[in-house]
C-alpha cells in the first residue's frame, strides 16, 4: 500500500469575488494535521508524550524540540528519532506519528501522565509555572550578546523573506534563529507558533548546537509564556516578537534574565526585559517599553 505523505500545503477550489465579478480558481491552504509524539526507552517502554496539531514538515525536529523543551531529554539523551512503524499504527497514519528513542529510561513527568492534546493555537497551556521552571532551569548569564536597534530592525524582513509556505497560503506562523550579527541561521513555519519554535530547537538539538547562548529568537506573532519557556530551555538569551508579549512572558523574561523585545515593526520596538543587552536602552533597564508603540 502506497501511503501519501502530507505536505505543508493543501490545494482547494474556491470562488473569489471582486466587486460583482466571481471567479473560480485554485487556492492553497496551510495543511493542519495531528502529530503524535511518542518516547521509548531501551527496555522497550513506550509512551505518548503529546498529540499536537501541526503543519507537516520538519516533523522530527518538532518532536526533538518538544521533548527538549518539556525537559524529557537533554543534549545527548536522544538516540534516534523516526516515524513510527509500530503495529498499532495504521499505514495512513505513519507520517503523523513520531517516536523519540531515548538512551535512558523515560522520565516520570506529569506531562506523560496526561497524554495531552496540544492545539496549534495555544501550545502546552499551563504545563508549567515560573516556580516549577526553577526545578530544571537556571537564570541565563548576562553573556557577551549585544544587540543594536538597527540589527533588530532587520530581523522581521529577513524572517518574512524565508517564509516560503506563508507566501502561498498567508496562514502560517514563523520562527527564526539569528546569530549575534543578525544573520538568519534557520527558519521554520507552522500553523502553531509554538510548533515553529519547537522545530527550530529540534534542529539545534539534532545538530548538537544547544545551548543557543549567542543567538536571538524571532517569532512572527506574539511572545507568550510558552515561547519564552522554550527559549529558556534552549538557552536563548533574547526573544523578539512582531506583536505584544503577555504579562507572564514578561515576568519569565525578567526572572530568568532573557531580553524580550515586542512590537518589532519597521524601525520601532519595545524592550520589556533585559535592556542591558540592547545598546542605548540601559536607562530603561527592566522597565523599557512598558506601553504599546
Q: Which of the residue ranges 1-5, 66-70, 153-157 would you say has the lowest mean pLDDT?
A: 1-5
pLDDT at 130 over 90: no
* Per-residue model confidence (pLDDT) at position 23: 82
pLDDT at 124: 38
Q: If you average pLDDT over residues 71-81, what whole number do you get?
A: 89
pLDDT of residue 93: 80
Whole-angstrom Cα distance, residue 43 to residue 65?
Answer: 23
Which contacts of 122-129 are long-range, i.e. CB under 8 A and separated by 24 or more positions? 122/226, 123/192, 123/193, 123/194, 123/195, 123/224, 123/226, 123/227, 124/50, 124/70, 124/194, 124/226, 125/226, 127/70, 127/226, 128/229
Instruction: Locate 208 and state its grid cell.
Output: 548538537
Q: List binding-site positions.
A: 263-268
- pTM summary value: 0.77
Beta strand pairing status for 238-241 and 215-219? parallel
Express each pLDDT in 109-126 by its tens digit.
Answer: 655 544 444 544 443 333
- CB 242 within 8 Å of CB 221: yes
Tell me the pLDDT tens digit for each residue of 47-71. 988 888 888 899 999 999 999 988 8
In sequence order, what E strands does 2-77 have? Answer: 9-18, 21-30, 33-40, 46-54
Predicted confidence (pLDDT) per residue in 138-153, tens digit: 999 999 999 998 999 9
**Burial bucket for residue 20 (CB in 10 Å: 0-12, 13-18, 19+):** exposed
Q: Which residues contact 268 (CB under 8 A, 6 or more apart)?
A: 293
Intra-chain end-to-end CA distance of the chain, in Å: 56
Q: Where are the domains of the chain?
A: 33-126, 149-284
Q: What is the CATH number of domain 149-284?
A: 3.40.140.10
User: 196 falls in which pLDDT band (50, 70, 90)?
Assistant: very high
Residues 207-248 pLDDT 10s: 999 999 999 999 998 888 889 999 999 999 999 999 889 877
CATH class of 33-126: alpha beta
Question: Is 240 a residue of the active site?
Answer: no
Phi-psi region of 32 (alpha: psi -120 to 50; beta: other; left: phi over 0): beta
186 secondary structure, DSSP code = E
Confidence tier at 88 by pLDDT (50, 70, 90): confident
Quickly state the pLDDT bin for 77 (edges 50, 70, 90): very high
Please tell me which residue in 122, 125, 240, 269 is annotated as part of the active site.
122
pLDDT at 174 over 70: yes
Closest CA to 116 of 70, 56, 175, 83: 70
Amino acid at each position: 500500500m502506497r501511503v501519501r505523505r502530507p505536505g505543508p500545503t493543501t490545494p482547494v477550489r474556491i470562488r473569489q469575488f471582486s466587486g460583482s465579478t466571481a471567479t473560480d480558481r485554485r487556492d492553497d491552504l496551510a495543511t493542519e494535521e495531528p502529530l503524535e509524539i511518542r518516547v521509548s526507552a531501551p527496555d522497550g517502554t513506550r509512551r505518548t508524550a503529546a498529540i499536537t496539531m501541526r503543519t507537516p514538515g520538519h516533523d522530527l525536529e518538532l518532536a526533538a524540540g518538544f521533548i527538549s523543551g518539556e525537559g524529557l531529554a537533554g543534549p545527548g539523551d536522544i538516540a534516534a528519532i523516526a516515524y513510527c512503524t509500530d503495529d498499532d499504527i495504521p499505514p495512513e497514519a505513519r507520517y503523523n506519528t513520531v517516536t523519540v528513542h531515548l538512551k535512558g529510561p523515560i522520565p516520570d513527568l506529569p506531562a506523560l501522565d496526561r497524554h495531552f492534546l496540544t492545539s496549534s493555537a495555544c501550545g502546552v497551556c499551563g504545563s508549567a509555572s515560573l516556580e516549577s521552571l526553577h526545578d530544571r532551569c537556571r537564570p541565563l548569564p548576562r553573556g557577551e550578546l549585544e544587540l543594536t536597534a538597527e540589527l533588530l530592525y532587520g530581523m522581521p524582513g529577513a524572517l518574512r523573506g524565508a517564509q516560503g509556505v506563508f507566501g502561498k497560503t498567508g496562514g502560517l506562523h514563523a520562527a527564526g534563529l539569528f546569530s549575534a550579527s543578525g544573520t538568519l541561521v534557520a527558519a521554520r513555519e507552522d500553523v502553531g507558533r509554538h510548533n515553529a519554535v519547537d522545530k527550530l530547537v529540534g534542529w539545534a538539538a539534532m545538530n548538537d548546537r544547544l545551548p543557543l547562548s549567542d543567538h536571538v529568537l524571532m517569532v512572527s506573532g506574539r511572545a507568550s509564556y510558552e515561547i519564552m519557556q522554550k527559549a529558556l530551555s534552549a538557552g536563548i538569551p533574547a526573544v523578539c516578537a512582531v506583536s505584544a508579549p503577555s504579562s507572564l512572558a514578561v515576568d519569565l523574561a525578567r526572572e530568568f534574565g532573557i531580553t524580550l523585545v515586542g512590537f518589532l515593526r519597521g524601525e520601532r520596538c519595545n524592550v520589556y526585559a533585559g535592556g542591558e543587552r540592547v545598546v542605548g536602552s540601559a536607562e530603561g533597564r527592566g522597565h523599557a517599553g512598558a506601553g504599546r508603540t
